Structure 1
């Protein structure tokens, strides 16, 4: 019996709400202001990068976040990569080795694209990721913007779990 057999006849009667990813910025200055020192190394304006990070952090895809920020999806992926957001390189680990071989001059571009199995756009983005490492300081700024304030988190965690934790007397 497969999953399709088990799920046959099931219907969803309650709509789900899109909740996105919860983030808390525990810093004082706006993200765009904190990214200003890295403006020359970003493939777009700092305000666009901040809008892109906010949209992506809310749980949207790279393409949807790029559309929200007003840039092309490839540019959005480049910005996220340079700012240290993982998972935006579209090529597999094996294809990354092929990109490296192409960058080293061991393969022609057409051979490398064919061997990688990636589209031209994916290959180009993979090459960009291989030649532009994330900016460590900017990645730290982005990570700090996404970390919750520990004092608030501890209080919220205690409040949320207050009714879930029993006492030793409840174990009898």
Structure 2
């Protein structure tokens, strides 16, 4: 197959076709109303969860977002985890240690020490390891947590001043 065969059927036109913009309109229900079906599974009320998500989407930290919502920071982190956000206070090795503790292979005091976190952080890590995000709740908050469709680029841009760059790692 040559280039002429590949290019067969390609046209050059003077105008573009207007295909419109795909939209999803969920404006009829507030975020709190969309979270209502999941109220029994949330560590706070749907109204508090909505306030938490709004503050978090604005770029506030988990703790600051929880304070805006009027809930404990740990409950805020739990709710955000249930919405699919990564809030675990431990890395991959810490997750293994928490898993070993959950399996009964380590005593709690030793696991906390090995993970290098506080008791409260360890409890949050255990919660994250034992609770899956709620699929429907993740969908309910999806638009609020994403600033540009998937959220990744816009959130990184919005939080750019709070993130370390590669150059900052040389000075550690």
Contiguous gaps of at least 5 residues in structure 1: 1-24, 151-172
Partner Cα distance (2:109, 2:127) in 1: 17
- Aligned partner of 1:41 in structure 2 is 41
Provide the TM-score with structure 2 as the length reference: 0.68
* Structure 2, gaps ≥5 residues long: 1-23, 150-172
* CA deviations over 1:102-142 (Å, ceiling 9, x no partner): 00000000111111111111111000101111101111121
Aligned mates of 1:148, 1:108 — CA distance in 2 = 43
**CA–CA distance in structure 2, aligned partners of residues 64 and 148 of structure 1:** 19
Q: Is the 8 A contact 1:34 1:141 kept in 2?
A: yes
> Quick one: distance in 2 between partners of 1:130 and 1:148?
28
Give per-residue Cα distances to partners, 1:144-164, cap 9 Å, x unaligned: 3445798xxxxxxxxxxxxxx
CA distance in structure 2 between the partners assigned to 1:149 and 1:66 by the alignment: 23
Equivalent residue number for residue 105 of structure 2: 106
Q: Secondary structure at 2:143's aligned position in 1?
A: helix
C-alpha contact 1:26 1:145 (8 A) present in aligned 2? no
Please, what is the CA RMSD of the aligned residues? 1.8
What is the aligned residue count? Answer: 125
Which 4+ stretches in 1 moved above 3 angstroms? 144-150
